[in-house]
Amino acid sequence: MAVTFVKAQLINYPSLHVYQRFQPKIGALGSSLSCEVSKNRRHFIVMSATAVGSPHTPVHASDKSGISIMVNGCTGKMGKAVLDAAISAGLNPVPLALGSPEDSGKIVDLGDKYVEVHGSDDREFILSSAIKEYPDLIVVDYTVPAAVNDNAALYCKLGLPFVMGTTGGDRDLLYKTVDESRNYALISPQMGKQVVAFLATMETMSQQFPGAFSGYNLQVIESHQASKLDISGTAKAVISCFHKLGVSFDLNQVQLIRDSKEQIEKVGVPEEHLSGHAFHTYRLISPDGTVSFEFQHNVCGRSIYAEGTVDAILFLAKKVKLKADKRIYDMIDVLREGNMR
């Protein structure tokens, strides 16, 4: 049975879209639409009404253009940024996605189409149904660290190629799961192409000059939006390179800055980017304090990651189509291929 969502705009808040679910009532004279609107929801006008299929209603093949993608975690800011970038690149977001139990039933507005978010209860059924309807489907995961391993295990069980942009989880188990399943996956703690190039440079330096900074003290300051709970995967990767360069440093020594006042005053984050930024500083100081080196990369907004994710999708889709022998990739593979947009 189809469910209709009516898109409304609050007069006092024209940029805020509200969705009211209408359930068709079947009677002797046919079907009619009815709903209850809270008395507290005043001052809104209906702008448009669009019928969206239920979770089990197939989407017609005419809706398929470009590579089909499912962005799990699309209610988050990163997921939404990826959807926008993907649509601009001609990719086709399917009308279903997975999210947290709290997000179940939410509708993400993409302008001319919608994505309905489902919780964990029926996620295997949702994915299986999507695979049947979109055989070339690529999943993009921007959920939460606690869901990384369970999600990856399900993708691998169903043979569903995926791009893992979510950091955290048990990374060794993640790679083991993908390797044993022979599923296609692109896994990267960092999707920003230029930042990945910096990481590759650090890795090369650590391999060619091991122990070059032996005895140096390392300070790491990492500032992200308050909603990011864990240490950045990028910071972990850079610190791993410093370990090879002879530096002793524990992850619990990373200074995680999530307080907005401190971010503005101490780190220099522009106020308009407090809700989305990544400022990292790595400072090396010689044992006697006379020599110091500083590596820094500051990112405002999410476009760099969203565009990199689109490149990752295009790269992985190509490898799947070619039935490449290698199954696990990262963003360095994407950079080396050199066919980014």
Residue 224 annotated among the catalytic residues of the structure = yes
246 backbone dihedrals φ, ψ, rounded to 5°: 100, 10
Q: Mention every residue, 6+ apart, whose C-beta is less than 8 A from residue 201.
A: none
Tokens representing 137 are 């489907």
Active-site position among 80, 118, 193, 224: 224
Tell me the β-bridge partners of 121.
Answer: none
Active-site position among 80, 228, 280, 319: 228
Residue 17 annotated among the catalytic residues of the structure = no
DSSP state string for 19-32: EEEEEEEEETTEEE
**How many residues are recorded in the chain?**
341
* CA-based nearest residue to 25, from 38, 36, 15: 36
Longest dimension (CA), the chain: 89
Q: How far apart are CA 243 and CA 91, in angstroms?
A: 40
Cα atoms found within 13 Å of the Cα of residue 139, Cβ hemisphere only: 33
What pairing do the DSSP bridges indicate for beta strands 277-285 and 292-300? antiparallel
Catalytic residue ranges: 224, 228
